[in-house]
Amino acid sequence: METVRRQIIDLLRQEAMTALDLSRAVRTSEKEVYRHLTHIQKTVAGQGRKLSVTPCTCLACGFTFTDRRRLTKPGRCPRCRESRIGHPVFRIKE
């Protein structure tokens, strides 16, 4: 049986997924997936790969969080203060 991190790495090598999709696939909480992703980012960097992150976008005004360093979804938009934010999408690139 594979570890949760190994399962997440295998899934992200196959297709792009959000943390919510990953949490359903590996049957763990979304919060736990975000914790694993920070470690996975370092692990794959050591292997010469990259964890690619498609940034979050505000669903109300369209603001894109391009400069955000954290992998988690922000609470609200700095421009319009709405909390309807799309999830970031992750993928491992060779």
- How many domains, the chain? 1
Distance CA 54, CA 77 (A): 16
> What's the CATH code of the domain at 73?
1.10.10
Domain that residue 50 falls in = 4-93
Give the model's confidence band at 94: pLDDT under 50 very low, under 70 low, under 90 confident, else very high.
confident
CA 72 to chain centre: 7
Q: What is the pLDDT of residues 33-91, one digit of tens each?
A: 999 999 999 999 999 999 999 999 999 999 999 999 999 999 999 999 999 999 999 99
SS (H, E, C) 61-76: CCCECCCCCCCCCCCC
> pTM of the predicted model, to two decimals?
0.88
Distance CA 92, CA 8 (A): 10
The CB density around residue 83, as the number of other CB atoms within 10 Å, is: 12
pLDDT at 2: 84
For residue 57, the cross-strand partners are 64
